[in-house]
Amino acid sequence: MIELKNVTKTFDGFLALDGLDMHVKKGSIYGLVGVNGSGKTTLIKHLTGVFRADSGEVLVGGEPAFDNVAIHQKMTYIADDLYFFSMYDLKGVAAYYRKLYPGWSDERYREMVKRFGLPERKKLSKFSKGMQKQAAFILAMSAMPEVLVLDEPIDGLDPLIRRMVIRDIVEDVAEREMTVLVSSHNLKDMEGLCDCIGIISKGKMLLERDLDDLKSDVHKVQAVFPEGVRAPLEGMNVLFGEKRGSVELYIIRGDGERIENQFRAAGPVVFDLLPMTLEEVFIYETGGDRDEFKEILF
């Protein structure tokens, strides 16, 4: 549904995107992960038609995204830094959206406004940040988009509203095969929402994987062996290792069952094989500081 092919973008000599590739399947929820300055916002602005790539292709449904009205009538975008015209209330912006998006649903709009409990006649500029984000979400979903692009979508929302937002997104993906691209720093929320993950660093895509495959491929191992017995690491892809007193700590990429069998054959006194969280995988794949890495993992 969404495809970026060898996309490059430079600003005043700074290489923001460096031959970046990305593939988002129709009907999936794709999480875009990266540190500040990695290129996430630049990528999103190419997808939403704000920027034109210096080279490469940005495609939505097989068509170029830049200067393509038909594509953007089927796409809605919620930015992290929201802006609304100061004189508009929610009802006024809804009337504006109704003209822009052929798929607009008044029925859905009324249902969501009632469920979220937002005042239609209050100026959006007077809303709190959390209320503005709810209003933006109501407007975006009422347009019945084929593609939904979200930048920090639930940042600043209380837990109840977060659950409502996530439920609505998941239901539209399941019922209408809506395609979602979500960028967020909250990896715990991404882990509970996304089925695919792309990790971007310095304008390049480091990896793209199904979330379950990504997490099941890397493991934390904690073990204690009898005196004189060494950890059986032969043939293993050990990404990180450290010994703290009698406890040996490892990050190992590979099949979890094979890792466990090989360790247990050496007769450990203590053995734990733990899956990596998305946060831990992100820290490792982006080359996080080793001391920070150790602190978070262990």
Residue 249 · residue 203 · CB < 8 Å: no
User: What length does the chain have?
Assistant: 298
pLDDT given for residue 217 in this prediction: 83
Residue 140 · residue 108 · CB < 8 Å: no
Looking at the structure, tell me whether residues 268 and 136 fall in a common domain. Answer: no
What residues pair up with 238 in beta bridges, in sequence order? 252
pLDDT given for residue 288 in this prediction: 56
pLDDT given for residue 184 in this prediction: 81
Write down which residue in 210, 235, 266 finishes a domain.
210
pLDDT given for residue 287 in this prediction: 61
Looking at the structure, tell me whether residues 66 and 147 fall in a common domain. Answer: yes
Write down which residue in 193, 210, 227 finishes a domain.
210
Looking at the structure, tell me whether residues 173 and 292 fall in a common domain. Answer: no
Looking at the structure, tell me whether residues 253 and 117 fall in a common domain. Answer: no
Looking at the structure, tell me whether residues 176 and 258 fall in a common domain. Answer: no
Residue 111 · residue 105 · CB < 8 Å: no
pLDDT given for residue 66 in this prediction: 94
Looking at the structure, tell me whether residues 269 and 236 fall in a common domain. Answer: yes
> Considering only CA atoms, which of 72, 44, 54, 74 is closest in space to residue 11?
54
Q: What is the C-alpha to C-alpha distance for residues 127 and 181, in angstroms, rounded to an integer?
A: 26
* CATH number for 136: 3.40.50.300
Looking at the structure, tell me whether residues 102 and 162 fall in a common domain. Answer: yes
Phi–psi pair at 225, nearest 5 degrees = -115, 155
Looking at the structure, tell me whether residues 196 and 251 fall in a common domain. Answer: no
> Considering only CA atoms, which of 67, 49, 54 is closest in space to residue 6?
54
Residue 289 · residue 297 · CB < 8 Å: no
Structural domain count, the chain: 2
Residue 19 · residue 8 · CB < 8 Å: yes
Looking at the structure, tell me whether residues 195 and 240 fall in a common domain. Answer: no
Looking at the structure, tell me whether residues 115 and 140 fall in a common domain. Answer: yes
Domain with 236, as residue range(s), is: 217-297
- Specify the 3-state DSSP secondary structure of 34: coil
Looking at the structure, tell me whether residues 197 and 112 fall in a common domain. Answer: yes
* CATH number for 242: 3.30.70
Write down which residue in 157, 192, 210 finishes a domain.
210
> Considering only CA atoms, which of 70, 78, 79, 134 is closest in space to residue 102?
70
Phi–psi pair at 248, nearest 5 degrees = -100, 130
CB proximity list for 108: less than 8 A, separation 6 or greater: 141, 142, 144
Low-confidence ranges of the chain (pLDDT < 70): 284-298
Q: What is the DSSP string of 49-84?
A: TSS--SEEEEEETTEE-TT-HHHHTTEEEE-SS---
For 91-143, write each residue's pLDDT tens digit: 999 999 999 999 999 999 999 999 999 999 999 989 998 999 999 999 999 99
Looking at the structure, tell me whether residues 233 and 154 fall in a common domain. Answer: no
pLDDT given for residue 246 in this prediction: 92
Residue 83: both structure tokens together: 């802006």
Q: What is the C-alpha to C-alpha distance for residues 255 and 250, in angstroms, rounded to an integer?
A: 14
The DSSP code for 89 is: B
